[in-house]
Amino acid sequence: MLDITQFFIATAHAQDAVSSPPGGANTSMLMNFLPIILIFGVFYVLIIRPQQKKMDEQNKMIKALQKGDRVITSGGIYGKVTKVDGDDLLTVEIADGVQVKVARAQISGLAAKTQPVIAADEAEKKK
């Protein structure tokens, strides 16, 4: 009758017969961690770094908000900044005569950045 353990024992002896060169333990340990290091590097380049850039741009946009900017809140409400109250509060007009106070952190984006109005004289000079 065939004994299955013979296959495993023979394999174990064959693996034991191979000897590694001196100092090979350090390189094999490095080779074991190399895929993990590469995966972390790929995650950093493809996921973490772009997310950090996006957060930095969002923070710069929020700090640069000024009166007249058209914004979108995180709740999806479009409005126009009518007053900047301190460092963390804005008054936003969401309809004619309807103003709400919104925390700066709740602004998700700009709908339109207001540009300075060009006087009629300057507009004619450009033509």
**Between 102 and 124, whose confidence is greater?**
102
> What is the pLDDT averaged over residues 28-54?
93
Tokens standing for 25?
């333990």
* Per-residue model confidence (pLDDT) at position 86: 85
CA angle 41, 42, 47 (to 5 degrees): 110
* Per-residue model confidence (pLDDT) at position 118: 56
* Per-residue model confidence (pLDDT) at position 8: 64
> What is the pLDDT averaged over residues 46-74?
94
- Exposure string of 16-55, with b = 16+ CB inside 10 Å and e = fewer, is eeeeeeeeeeeeeeeeeeeeeeeeeeeeeeeeeeeeeeee
> What is the pLDDT averaged over residues 97-120?
81
> What is the pLDDT averaged over residues 101-120?
79
* Per-residue model confidence (pLDDT) at position 15: 53
> What is the pLDDT averaged over residues 70-78?
94
Question: What's the mean pLDDT when you consider all of the chain?
Answer: 81
Q: CB of 79 within 8 A of CB of 71?
A: yes
* Per-residue model confidence (pLDDT) at position 92: 96
Residue 12 pLDDT class (50, 70, 90 cuts): low
